[in-house]
Structure 1
């Protein structure tokens, strides 16, 4: 891929963006790759007019020699996606396990749009193209979204203590006992000021199922709105039913299921 290709490739990636997901930017091409990855390559498909119609990025994981299709985008055109998958497999070689949808090669803490998985609802053509090429689901996670219009309700006391974070940019909210000991903690990533991501929320084991997590989630929503964010997104592991119930009860909507696929030789 040439530098002149960056803008049309970003347009392809942004076309598949989920609601509330931070917008991909040039760091996708300039940031360093995660440790343990080799042969990072970006391949593009073009039409007869030499316009870029699709892109796929692939790499090799040094620890087990597995091939990775990090991201693949073609405005949900099945035929172009099929060509890109075949090109990536040919580049990676036929004698290795290949995982698809593993996310950008940059470290997640430096690229907040790097949530792995291909949306089954948002991207049905990509899912069909992978399965037609012999890929099957490996792992999934659930994606949730909450638009912050109208404004969330002002939270009740007690209020969480807020601490800014810098690497990556974000805020940490902590609820404490009267003696100052931590009770519950949440971390929101704020790299994209318009779209916050709830990255972590936990309640101390002996104080769970008492509404404390819901109380802290409400403060995250309110704080995001107060800082000008338009939405807050979150995700849970495939089997994290308690976390999913918490998010749904807090007003977030289950927007999509993000799946990593794999194919054996």
Structure 2
């Protein structure tokens, strides 16, 4: 019943959650954002039921000993308002007077969904805001089918295994210097993730980014992916204008990626 609740919220570009993925999440493990999960105490996972015993919602939460914060890790309730509010209130009651963060990082239930997809999860968002949480917009979550026709390909690239995140890293060099790189996942249920793509400032505006993207998507296709997803924010990280996202967003739009949703995290302070 819990798996059915979780899969009712499945987004385009996400595989169905299986029993193994759920077991990893219940144990407090995840391949993505693994370091942040390692900082937590063992998570609790509770359900809310109706009078017949049917499960209406499920929530998982944990404490981070380093700062005493509470983490609402994941929540599913078929986007019904009353169970969402019940579960959020339950977590806050368990945490007491401490700062609580919700949907801060990805769980094993998804392929890297770091945040709550706010358009697809309106009841959960409303329950958090009603309980005093403030949202912070993080990422665009984007998706495309494979193959993507008409993209060029990067020359002189190398491909090697990558451990964090697990997958492959593509590197383009010019006179020995790395001028562009991309990281992709190993496909899961026919879905691959483009984790990262970057081009050195001196090599920009020459079509290299689009060519590297074409190469990365072709490699995902060759590994068995029929869909690709990615996560990108809108602005450069504070104090780092060389990592601006305007060009990256334009690149993904040109390659045919479409925005599925926006991902947000939430904070509630006592």
What is the TM-score normalised by the length of structure 1? 0.85
- Where structure 1 has 5 or more consecutive residues not aligned to the other structure, the ranges are 1-7
**Distance (whole Å) between structure 2 residues aligned to residue 120 and residue 193 of structure 1:** 24
Does residue 43 (structure 1) correspond to residue 46 (structure 2)? The answer is yes
Secondary structure in structure 2 of the residue aligned to 1:38:
coil
Equivalent position SS for 1:86: helix
Q: Give distance in 2, aligned partners of 1:157 and 1:243.
A: 16
Q: Which residue of 1 aligns with 2:6?
A: 13
- The offset of 1:210, in angstroms, is 2.1
Whether the 8 Å contact between 1:185 and 1:202 is mirrored in structure 2 is yes
Deviation at 1:139, TM superposition (A): 4.2
- Report the CA distance between 1:47 and its aligned residue: 2.0
* 8 Å Cα contact 1:152-1:225 kept in structure 2: no
**Residue 180 of structure 2 corresponds to residue 184 of structure 1:** yes
1:227-254, Cα deviation, whole Å (9 max, x unpaired): 2212111111342333222211221111
Pairing partner for 2:248 from 243, 249, 254:
243
- SS for the counterpart of 2:206 is coil
Asked whether the 8 Å contact 2:153–2:212 carries over to 1, the reply is: no
Match of 1:100 in 2: 102
Q: What is the number of equivalent residue pairs in this alignment?
A: 251
Matched, 1:66 2:69: yes
Structure 1 contact 198–233 (Cα < 8 Å) conserved: yes
* Distance in 1, Cα, partners of 2:83 & 2:100: 19
Contact 2:142 2:257 in 1 (8 A): yes
TM-superposed CA distance for 1:89, in Å, is 0.6
Match of 1:252 among 241, 252, 257: 257
Structure-1 residue corresponding to 2:195: 199
Residue 130 of structure 2, aligned match among 108, 132, 140: 132
- The answer on whether the counterparts of 1:135 and 1:263 sit within 8 Å (CA) in structure 2 is yes
Contact 1:112/1:191 (8 A) holds in 2: no
How far apart are 1:213 and its partner, in Å? 1.0
CA distance in 1, matches of 2:263, 2:176: 38
Q: Is 1:168–1:191's contact at 8 Å kept on the other side of the alignment? A: no
Task: Give unpaired runs (5+ residues) of structure 2.
Answer: 236-244
Residues 45, 54 of structure 1: 8 Å contact kept:
yes
Q: Give the structure 2 partner of residue 88 of structure 1.
A: 91
In 2, Cα distance between equivalents of 1:184 and 1:152: 22
